[in-house]
Structure 1
Amino acid sequence: MKNLVLFLLGLSAQLCFGQANRFIYQVTMKPDSANPNDVRTENAYLDVSGQKSVFYSEKSMKRDSIFSRARQTGSFNFDRNQMQSLRSSIDYTIEKDLKTGVKTFKSRIGRDQYSYEEDRAIDWKITPETLKIGDYKTQKAEAEFAGRKWYAWFITDMPIQDGPYKFSGLPGLIAKVEDAAGDYSFDLKEAKKITEIQNPDSRGTVIKVKRKDYEKQNEAFRKDPASFFAAQMSTGRGGFGGETRGGGMRTPDPNRRKQMEERLKEEIRKSNNPIELK
């Protein structure tokens, strides 16, 4: 847990003066239940400032930065290998209002960005069990959430009632949380000061829905992704395997579209073990 010793010493002062803090988690995922050897690992950031926090992918932030520079310069000649390496398995952003407890989940379905407010509370049961993680004493808590049993270890001396993903509400920062099946884990690796919390680029209008409606849309997309892109193209929100023509119009390239369809179907097939099972 690199740099956390010095970080803790200055944390109280930072909280008093409203400075922002970034907690870097290593996220480990097994997205394919048929292939437990497919283990994906990447970093995610939890930015906390005052009564607000944002949890998002490090890779997504880097991609956003590249797109932002491209829009500023008008040059969209991307390095394909670089962009491919920045594709993230953490395809969501979670904002928390730490005062009210409201958690807002944002993610893209096809070309549309959706958001919903989480309507399920996490009922933690704090146990007497403790664990030394790095230099820090942590205490264990358990909860059932979204179809999984979760175990969390929170730092009792760090007065931030937050954690990665949708996890929060414990009397200390969550240093580690994992599900009982060993499919998902979030491990705190580093903490540092930042000037302000990041606001990930939503790129377009965000469609606000209820959680159940989001899940229905996502399930329909997984069953027939091509129809989503076709519908979006017809309404001018983007194409699927299209080429740019004069006047800014986009028309389908049949060969490229077919390749993208097959790739997307294969990705969906191998992503059958979501973090939320129900």
Structure 2
Amino acid sequence: MKKLGILALALLAQASFAQTNRFVYQVTSKPDINNKSDIKTENAYLDISAEKSMFYSENRIKRDSIMKANFQSGGGRGFNREQMDGLRTNINYSIEKNKKDQKIIYKDRLGRDQYSYEEDRPLNWKILSETTKIGDYKVQKAETDFGGRKWTAWFTTDLPYQDGPYKFNGLPGLVVKAEDSTGDYSFDLMKNYKISDFPEMRTFGNVMKVKRTDYLKQQERFKTDPMSFLNSQRGGGGISPPRSQGGGGNQFSPEVRKRIEDGVKDEIKKSSNPIELK
């Protein structure tokens, strides 16, 4: 009986350790370089387990949940357009950090397909002596230059994690706040709680594993000529718009082409101030 009791305690401790901790960050951004008064604010999750962490938009998971429910019902219910529009996100990417090999995997969607690359630039932090308190946490200041921006972060050792939002890691604690020197982007820890496991992330289209430099080239192609880029993604996932029935069967119909092109160009214009400038 004594051995059974010890085993039960060990299993309980293991189950407790296996839980995933969710940290909710408020992400503030000014994505339009020509309209800095257009400030976007939304929540993002940093889920941390013993093996890895994931950073992604709260709205993405909510939209995925609605789409999953609709598909499971046979698509008959349709989407509530107002509800889906209210769940738009400026955080279209997700970032996974693997604890064992210290790899950072960035995933984002270009057109119909999802592109994935391994981050190849280290974050070189300068840890300063300045300390303060943010919320319940005693924090210490650190600085780094990354992606063409100068970042200031405040990290705490009050929590047993060496992680942070976005690609931030490598500090001896959890990043509670991070902000770039221009005030265009900031991440602020709001709260945390335990969840049973990482949520399922819906993936549409093909998953293209590329080098970071190749991803940047594809991203530039998409921005320069979005329709040509979309037409080149043959066999991509998702629902394809109607195409013309003439000799150019690979082409979008003129009406759809113009609508998609205008929409994509408008989105690109509104995203002219990305979090990484280089």
Query: Could you tell me the TM-score, scaled by structure 1's length?
Result: 0.87
Question: Structure 1 residue 125: deviation in Å?
Answer: 0.9
Superposed, which structure 2 residues align to 1:145-156 within 5 Å?
A: 145-156=146-157
Q: Is the 8 A contact 1:221 1:228 kept in 2?
A: yes
Number of the residue aligned with 2:260: 260
Q: Is the 8 A contact 1:241 1:254 kept in 2?
A: no
Number of the residue aligned with 1:38: 38
3-state secondary structure, aligned to 2:267: helix
Cα 1:82–1:124 change in 2 (3 A) is same
1:65 equivalent to 2:65? Answer yes
3-state secondary structure, aligned to 2:120: coil
CA distance in 2, matches of 1:262, 1:52: 39
1:22 equivalent to 2:22? Answer yes
Cα 1:207–1:236 change in 2 (3 A) is closer
3-state secondary structure, aligned to 2:163: coil
Q: Is the 8 A contact 2:131 2:141 kept in 1?
A: yes
Per-residue CA deviation, residues 209-247 of structure 1 (Å, 9 max, x unaligned), is 000000000011001111122223x5464566438xxxx
3-state secondary structure, aligned to 1:242: coil
Number of the residue aligned with 2:223: 222
Matching residue's letter, 2:254: P
Superposed, which structure 2 residues align to 1:80-159 within 5 Å?
A: 80-159=81-160
Q: Is the 8 A contact 1:14 1:20 kept in 2?
A: no
3-state secondary structure, aligned to 1:116: strand
Cα 1:166–1:156 change in 2 (3 A) is same
Per-residue CA deviation, residues 164-208 of structure 1 (Å, 9 max, x unaligned), is 000011111110001011110000001011001224222243110
CA distance in 1, matches of 2:72, 2:50: 31
CA distance in 2, matches of 1:269, 1:129: 39
Q: Is the 8 A contact 2:28 2:41 kept in 1?
A: yes
Number of the residue aligned with 2:274: 274
Question: Structure 1 residue 14: deviation in Å?
Answer: 8.8
Number of the residue aligned with 2:166: 165
Number of the residue aligned with 1:49: 49
CA distance in 2, matches of 1:135, 1:92: 30
Question: Structure 1 residue 163: deviation in Å?
Answer: 0.4
Question: Structure 1 residue 267: deviation in Å?
Answer: 1.6
Question: Structure 1 residue 257: deviation in Å?
Answer: 3.3
- May I ask how many residue pairs the two structures share in their alignment? 261
Question: Structure 1 residue 70: deviation in Å?
Answer: 2.0
Matching residue's letter, 2:218: Q
Per-residue CA deviation, residues 240-273 of structure 1 (Å, 9 max, x unaligned), is 6438xxxxx9984533432221121122122111
Number of the residue aligned with 1:209: 210
Matching residue's letter, 2:66: I
Once the two structures are overlaid, the 10-residue window that deviates more, 44-53 or 201-210, is: 201-210
Question: Structure 1 residue 15: deviation in Å?
Answer: 9.6
Query: Could you tell me the TM-score, scaled by structure 2's length?
Result: 0.87
Q: Is the 8 A contact 1:46 1:163 kept in 2?
A: yes
Question: Structure 1 residue 46: deviation in Å?
Answer: 0.4
3-state secondary structure, aligned to 1:144: strand
3-state secondary structure, aligned to 2:186: strand
Identity %: 56
Matching residue's letter, 1:268: I
